[in-house]
């Protein structure tokens, strides 16, 4: 088949329950998103709340209220979602550039500088990129967004466009590291942090609903006792590569690709040097554990980061090293090189190799401190195991994964599509009810209060229609397929079209497509991967003759009421990723 050649499907298919549920879930998400936006955002795109700096209810939580709304549009959500996100994004940048702290020193001149947080950790930066991370896929011709991506990526590499205005640069090119876990548009924080840096300025007790269980402001401060050691590099910082990744797919400027791979390679080497387990602290001199007394397990969100929850008095471990997957996944899409899976693969195996029998039960650790491994669980440590298997499709990685979705893809859980779609429709219903019951008002509302009922419940849709892993906020979308509607010249499934990915292997993608409209035809462009990183090689319709394709896109014409099951030969991670439309 030549580029953009079409296959025609004319065989009638009665609308399957999963297709009708997909369309209903998309419709319900559209309505919920509009209602949510109208309730919590004003005409400027500002969130109607009391602006604060902090990890519990800060700027990141404000825009995080629109998490996955761009993804909903990319699946086939309504046209107005893009303008809604763009309005909120522009309002968000203005709102938190204007917002200032009185007590937290580094945000006294604005919580944002040059439209990016002045400095924070990448768990919170990623939440703040809830819209920035994927909105470019909705409108790749938005020059303002592309300029913004260049600026944001520049904060974390050489060649920032205003380097003289950064007090402490984030990137150390000699040691290939980001200097602190607290980093941003005003550089890296090299001193020990205080609870005030994390919790933000004092608030009036009793005025707000504290969404994380705190009883008063003192609890908010006490939550961050033990969060002092941020100097040096941390695997969490690999999430910063998302900025360079997005800049590259929209500009093709090789400097973003080169920096991303240089930084990912540094962590590959550090993990090997640490016996296969990724270290959670790299000193400013480039040594493992160098900013934590030589302890590879040191630092905030590191392997030993267990603190006390103030309102319960109970210890709580807050391990954040799995965020490294953002960076390794970005490197994989850019290169197709599976060696970027090794650091986390060996980390999982290395942790679980320390299992022991406790009271006759095989137990596995989660954390490591000066006394060795601790926090024992009866299940192997498996954070990120699903991603590793999804990226590799290697049977050796399958054994770490316990997933009903993967079971379905292997033919062992046939009821999964209907069950999970019905469950997500139920989630939307509950969120809508909770939203209408919300007692907060703009002067008693913190930025994270609406997060509990934020719209865009898309997990089932991403798995079932796009063959992708559940989205992580701020992370590029990892999917086997992406759709475009050539009639409307936009991303997403056309109206009335249902898609069910029911099989994924290393070299084949199996999908059912159906047009539930009985009167009008539909045409859908099926692309290999979110960024066109996969290549279609062949296609078979309903088990018939195999036809060559040899392209990243395939046009499928669906007659009224028609549907079929396609088996598409797939070469994964062989194309240079792009954010452009295939029109």
Q: What is the pLDDT of residues 521-573, one digit of tens each?
A: 999 999 999 999 999 999 999 999 999 999 999 999 999 999 999 999 999 99
Sorted by where each begins, the domain ranges of the chain are 1-22+458-583, 51-139
Per residue in 223-232, pLDDT (tens digit) is: 999 999 999 9
Tokens representing 273 are 């040097």
Q: Which ranges of 239-323 does DSSP label H, i.e. alpha helix?
A: 241-251, 254-273
Q: At a CB cut-off of 8 Å and minimum separation 6, what does 323 contact?
A: 122, 123, 126, 235, 236, 238, 239
Tokens representing 322 are 């799995």
| Average pLDDT of the residues in 127-150 | 96
Q: If you search the block for the tokens 């590259």, which residue do you land on?
A: 248
Rounded to whole angstroms, how far apart are CA atoms 405 and 371?
38
Q: Is the dihedral of CA 122, 123, 127, 128 positive or negative?
A: negative
Q: At a CB cut-off of 8 Å and minimum separation 6, what does 260 contact?
A: 241, 244, 245, 248, 327, 330, 331, 334
* Residue 90: φ, ψ to 5°: -65, -40
> What percent of the chain has a predicted confidence (pLDDT) above 90?
96
Which of 238, 254, 256, 245 has its CA nearest to residue 177? Answer: 238
Q: At a CB cut-off of 8 Å and minimum separation 6, what does 2 contact?
A: none
Q: For residues 23, 25, 26 and 30, what is the CA-based torsion angle, rounded to 10 degrees?
A: 140
Residue pair 186/106 in contact by the 8 Å Cβ criterion: yes
Q: Is the pTM of this model over 0.85?
A: yes
Q: Which pLDDT value is given to residue 475?
A: 92
Q: Which pLDDT value is given to residue 158?
A: 72
Q: Which pLDDT value is given to residue 4?
A: 62
Rounded to whole angstroms, how far apart are CA atoms 189 and 476?
27
Tokens representing 578 are 């792009």
| Average pLDDT of the residues in 380-401 | 97
The more confident residue out of 472 and 81 is 81
The more confident residue out of 103 and 161 is 103
Q: Which ranges of 254-377 does DSSP label H, i.e. alpha helix?
A: 254-273, 324-335, 342-352
Looking at the DSSP bridge assignments, the partners of residue 47 are 41
Per residue in 258-297, pLDDT (tens digit) is: 999 999 999 999 999 999 999 999 999 999 999 999 999 9
Give the pLDDT band of residue 2 (cuts 50, 70, 90): very low
Q: Which pLDDT value is given to residue 449?
A: 97
CATH of domain 1-22+458-583: 2.60.40.1180
Q: Which pLDDT value is given to residue 206?
A: 95
Per residue in 53-101, pLDDT (tens digit) is: 999 999 999 999 999 999 999 999 999 999 999 999 999 999 999 999 9
Rounded to whole angstroms, how far apart are CA atoms 450 and 401?
33
Is a pLDDT exceeding 90 seen at residue 365?
A: yes
Q: Report in angstroms the alpha-carbon separations of 56 from 21, 59, 102, 197, 210.
A: 35, 10, 17, 11, 9
**Average model confidence (pLDDT) across the chain:** 96
Is a pLDDT exceeding 60 seen at residue 423?
A: yes
Per residue in 145-202, pLDDT (tens digit) is: 999 999 999 999 975 554 444 457 999 999 999 999 999 999 999 999 999 999 999 9
Q: How far is CA 271 from the centre of its chain?
A: 23
Which of 500, 494, 456 has its CA nearest to residue 481? Answer: 500
Q: Which ranges of 129-202 does DSSP label H, i.e. alpha helix?
A: 132-138, 143-154, 195-199
Q: How many CA atoms lie within 13 A of 309 on its CB side?
A: 11
Which of 96, 86, 92 has its CA nearest to residue 134? Answer: 86
DSSP code, position 280: S
Is a pLDDT exceeding 50 seen at residue 313?
A: yes
Q: At a CB cut-off of 8 Å and minimum separation 6, what does 570 contact?
A: 480, 507, 508, 509, 528, 534, 535, 536, 537
Q: What is the CA radius of gyration of the chain?
A: 24
- 3-state per-residue secondary structure call for 527-578: EECCCCCCEEEEEEECCCCCEEEEECEEEEEECCCEEEEEEEEEECCCCCCC
Per residue in 512-526, pLDDT (tens digit) is: 999 999 999 999 999
Is a pLDDT exceeding 60 seen at residue 430?
A: yes
């Amino acid at each position: 088949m030549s580029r953009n050649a079409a296959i025609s499907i004319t065989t009638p298919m009665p609308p399957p329950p999963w297709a009708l549920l997909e369309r209903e879930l998309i419709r319900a998400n559209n309505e919920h998103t509009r209602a949510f936006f109208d309730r919590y955002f004003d005409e400027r795109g500002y969130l109607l709340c009391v602006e604060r700096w902090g990890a519990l209810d800060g700027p990141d939580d404000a825009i995080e209220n629109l998490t996955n709304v761009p993804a909903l549009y990319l699946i086939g959500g309504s046209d107005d979602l893009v303008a809604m996100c763009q309005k909120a994004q522009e309002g968000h940048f203005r709102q938190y550039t204007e917002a200032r702290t009185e007590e937290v020193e580094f945000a006294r001149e604005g919580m944002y500088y040059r439209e990016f947080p002045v400095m924070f950790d990448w768990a919170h930066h990623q939440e703040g990129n809830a819209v920035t991370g994927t909105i470019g896929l909705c409108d790749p011709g938005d020059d303002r967004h592309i300029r913004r991506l260049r600026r944001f990526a520049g904060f974390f590499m050489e060649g920032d466009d205003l380097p003289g205005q950064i007090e402490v640069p984030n990137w150390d090119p000699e040691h290939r590291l980001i200097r602190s876990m607290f980093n941003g548009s005003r550089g890296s924080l090299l001193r020990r942090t205080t609870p005030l840096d994390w919790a933000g300025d004092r608030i009036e007790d009793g005025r707000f609903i504290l969404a994380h269980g705190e009883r008063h402001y003192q609890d908010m401060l006490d939550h961050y006792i033990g969060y002092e050691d941020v100097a040096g590099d941390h695997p969490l910082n690999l999430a910063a590569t998302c900025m360079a990744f997005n800049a590259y797919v929209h500009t093709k400027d090789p400097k973003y690709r080169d920096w991303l791979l240089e930084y990912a390679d540094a962590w590959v080497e550090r993990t090997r040097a640490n016996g296969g387990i990724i270290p959670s602290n790299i000193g400013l001199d480039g040594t493992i554990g160098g900013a934590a007394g030589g302890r590879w397990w040191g630092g905030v969100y590191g392997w030993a980061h267990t603190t006390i929850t103030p309102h319960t008095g109970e210890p709580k471990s807050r391990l954040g090293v799995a965020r490294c997957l953002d960076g390794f996944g970005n490197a994989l899409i850019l290169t197709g090189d599976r060696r970027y899976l090794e650091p986390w693969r060996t980390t999982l195996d290395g942790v679980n190799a320390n299992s022991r029998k406790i009271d006759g039960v095989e137990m596995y650790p989660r954390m490591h401190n000066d006394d060795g491994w601790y926090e024992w669980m009866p299940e192997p440590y498996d954070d990120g195991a699903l991603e590793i298997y999804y990226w590799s499709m290697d049977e050796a990685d399958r054994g770490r994964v316990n997933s009903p979705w993967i079971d379905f893809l292997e033919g062992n859980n046939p009821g999964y599509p209907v069950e999970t779609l019905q469950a997500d429709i139920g989630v939307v219903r509950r969120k809508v009810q909770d939203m209408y019951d919300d007692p907060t008002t703009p002067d008693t509302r913190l930025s994270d209060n609406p997060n509990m009922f934020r719209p865009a419940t898309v997990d089932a849709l991403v798995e079932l229609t796009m063959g992708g892993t559940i989205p992580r906020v701020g992370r590029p979308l990892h999917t086997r397929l992406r759709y475009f509607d050539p009639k409307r010249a936009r991303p997403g499934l056309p109206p009335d079209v249902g898609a069910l990915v029911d099989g994924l292997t290393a070299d084949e993608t199996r999908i059912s497509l159906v047009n539930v409209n009985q009167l009008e035809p539909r045409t859908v462009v099926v692309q290999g991967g979110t960024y066109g990183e996969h290549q279609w090689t062949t296609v078979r319709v309903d088990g018939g003759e195999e036809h060559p394709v040899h392209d990243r896109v395939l046009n499928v014409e669906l007659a009224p009421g028609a549907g079929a099951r396609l088996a598409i030969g797939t070469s994964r991670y062989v194309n240079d990723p792009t954010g452009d439309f295939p029109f």
